[in-house]
Structure 1
Amino acid sequence: MNHFDWKQLFNPEFYILLQVGGIKIGLYVVLFIVFAETGLLAGFFLPGDSLLFLCGIYSELLMKDFATGSDFLDVTFLALLIALMAIFGNMFGYWFGKKSGSYLYKREDSLFFKKKYLYQSKDFFDKYGSRAVVFARFLPIVRTFAPVIAGIVEMDRKKFMFYNILGSVVWAIVMIFAGHYLYELFKIKFNIDLKHYIEYIVIGIVMVTTVPVLIKILRKRK
């Protein structure tokens, strides 16, 4: 009998390949994670960018039940589905921020909530204004709280939705198409199967996406 390893929860490949009773549910799990990352304020521990990049690699598996017969259309449809869930997640985060007001600033830290991330996101939002909703999509942790901050400061709803849709669509298309076509490029041109290097890819993406945040934090401490 195989024992569950909790470390798998931090491995994006685990979610994509997840099965229940022999039925592959990876696509639905991915869509829920994308929503939860901002909609349920669970972004600081859920895989974001690396998950989407791997979705591009595993797009054929994820879209197996909805295949159109066109590789490009399947990848595009997958990207749009994920973008849609990201949009809904941000909308829920915005609504929560608008309704909760200063509640989060008074809330105590817990396993799933760290107040310091809220302050970091507020600083990021103050610096970039409305554009922060777009930029935050590419930054772990910050993207979790950016829509909440937008709601707290009562950002114009129409303006928020514009940047929300723009950021979510660009994020999903860039990450998924990059994963899909880089996988094909390496396989065809260099005979390298990126699926054998998933751990290194995840580490690389995490480093690239978190370095800007770490640099900002370190500069603030000086």
Structure 2
Amino acid sequence: MPDFLDPMTLLGYFGAWALVGLLVVIFVESGVLFPILPGDSLLFVAGMLAAGTAALAEDGGEVINFQLWQLLVFIPIAAVLGGQAGYWIGRNLGTAMFKPDARFLKQKYLEEAHLFFEQRGPFAIVIARFVPIVRTLAPLTAGAARMSYGVFTLFNVIGALVWGIGLTLLGYWLGRFEVVQQLLEPIVIAIVVVSVLPMFIEWYKRRRAAKRAGIPAPPIETGEQA
């Protein structure tokens, strides 16, 4: 996978500033217009580093090791702030951000966001935390769609806590098993695959619906964004 999608490599780039770099990545991916970052796998690896079962050092450089309390406190904060920033970006710029031929902020995303929120309610903000790309676009579309700020904030906080603390603790706990330590790279790849699976399922549903309706199948959206 590309270096910027490999959490071990990405954290290694930050060196002694790994915690700050981690929080910046979480903030940006949580709603600030750059959706292609390794959020889920990054939290898992950070948890392993906090457990002391993984370490990063390049050419004899400083070993990166997080404190669990730092991760459990600061990751949710960074995730909440990123989501809030994304909401206000979407709310202030509105639908002007979304264009039919845009690479990331397509007009149909806004239309689908309305439908998505109508079907699942504001809890969609929590669900979106666990889906790459959607995790970034959900606050933007919620703001552009004028979702109530109070409602968005509540579910943004819930999603940030469940996602940020849950995946970090999962890495912290599983990282204590030797088999997990030995299979870290395949596990990271598996996390990425599982994370994007909902997008492929949605594309497949659209493809089947289009086939039944006798119209051309919609193109899968993940390829051009990867």
Tell whether the structures are fold-level matches, with TM greater than 0.5: yes
Shorter-chain TM-score bucket reads: 0.7 to 0.9
| 2:40 aligned with 1:49 | yes
Corresponding residue number in structure 1 for 2:5: 10
Distance in 1 separating the partners of 2:174 and 2:65: 23
Corresponding residue number in structure 2 for 1:97: 90
Distance in 1 separating the partners of 2:151 and 2:82: 16
8 Å contact from structure 1 (residues 80, 169) kept in 2: no
Corresponding residue number in structure 2 for 1:115: 106
| 2:167 aligned with 1:175 | yes
5 Å matches for 1:40-189? 40-43=32-35, 45-59=36-50, 60=52, 74-106=67-99, 108-110=101-103, 113=104, 115=106, 118=109, 121-184=113-176, 186-187=177-178
Normalising by structure 2, we get a TM-score of 0.78
Corresponding residue number in structure 1 for 2:21: 29
SS of equivalent residue, structure 1 residue 101 = helix
Distance in 1 separating the partners of 2:4 and 2:171: 21
Residues 116 and 150 of structure 1, relative CA distance in 2, 3 Å threshold: closer
8 Å contact from structure 1 (residues 125, 146) kept in 2: no
Structure 2 counterpart of 1:154, which letter?
R
- Structure 2: runs of 5+ lacking an equivalent: 57-62, 209-226
Give the deviation of 1:76 after TM superposition.
Answer: 3.4
Normalising by structure 1, we get a TM-score of 0.79
Residues 34 and 161 of structure 1, relative CA distance in 2, 3 Å threshold: same
Corresponding residue number in structure 2 for 1:221: 207
Output the aligned Cα RMSD.
2.5
How many residue pairs end up in the alignment?
A: 198
8 Å contact from structure 1 (residues 53, 178) kept in 2: yes
SS of equivalent residue, structure 2 residue 102 = coil
| 2:194 aligned with 1:208 | yes
Give the deviation of 1:150 after TM superposition.
Answer: 1.2
